[in-house]
Amino acid sequence: MKLFTLYDNKAKGKFRAGWGFSCLIKWKCTILFDTGADVEILSHNARLFGIDKDEIKYCFISHLHGDHTGGLGWLKEVKVFRPGEYDGSIKGVTTLVFKHPLEQALMFEDERIMIVGCSHPGIVRMAERAYERYGKLKLIIGGMHLLDLSEVEVIQIANRLKELTELIAPCHCTGDKAIETFNSVFKERFVENYAGNKIEI
């Protein structure tokens, strides 16, 4: 399984950065999770990865914020699942749907990989629900929205998450300081993530 970060607040090399998140998963089929804010940046980064958008079969949207939906116009004839719309038709793929506020995480059940958009319902709450169903996760990747929290609070969250997942790849709205804190708490289990990054797992 390969995860390509197509869109993030940070980028390396010739990849372009922009506020938002998008991750493409090459698995039994190719799935796009979120689309970033801007079609230009999304298509530029996909091109650099050599990704042909025609291979994308499904798109999951974590929540209806523009920094996750803005690139939707890039896709053609792709089945799009907004929060709560997924019918469970892809074997081994499920969504964890949270209502307050409305947001879904994408879950690869056998691989125990959870992908999140902004984690507005709370990253610990989301990870705990996944843990209850699937046991310890292999990887959580995406935005974790910890921008406004103190370092002490972020350390507590990181320590709790350390019990729930082996690897963590926080990016997007997690916040630079919180990402640094995750790095120091998770140590070798921390995965740096940015537009242009590819994770093979």
Number of H helices, E strands in the chain: 5, 11
**Shortest gap between Cβ of 70 and Zn ion (angstroms)?**
10
Which residue of the chain is nearest Zn ion when measured via CB? 118
**Which one of 65, 69, 94, 119 is in contact with Zn ion (CB under 5 A)?**
65
Q: Is 67 in the site for Zn ion (CB under 5 A)?
A: yes
- How far from chain centre, in Å, is Cα 144? 9
Stretch that binds Zn ion, among 41-49, 51-59, 62-70, 80-88 (CB under 5 A): 62-70
**Shortest gap between Cβ of 111 and Zn ion (angstroms)?**
24
Sheet of strand 103-108: strand arrangement: 93-98, 103-108, 113-116, 137-143, 165-171
- How much is the CA Rg of the chain, to the nearest whole Å? 15
Please tell me the distance from the alpha carbon of residue 184 to that of residue 84, in angstroms, as a whole number. Answer: 35
146, 97, 27, 192 alpha-carbon torsion, rounded to 10°: 0
Give the binding-site size for Zn ion (rule: CB under 5 A).
4
Q: Which CB sits closer to Zn ion, 44 or 65?
A: 65
Sign of the alpha-carbon torsion through 77, 10, 45, 191: negative
Closest by CA to 185, choosing from 153, 162, 152, 151, is 162
Stretch that binds Zn ion, among 28-36, 156-164, 167-175, 189-197 (CB under 5 A): 167-175
Write the interaction track for Zn ion spanning residues 99-138; mark x where CB under 5 A is met and - where it is not.
-------------------x--------------------
**Shortest gap between Cβ of 33 and Zn ion (angstroms)?**
12
CB-CB neighbours of 15 under 10 Å: 20
Q: Which CB sits closer to Zn ion, 36 or 196?
A: 36
- Using CB under 5 A as the criterion, which residues of the chain lie in contact with Zn ion when the complex forms? 65, 67, 118, 173
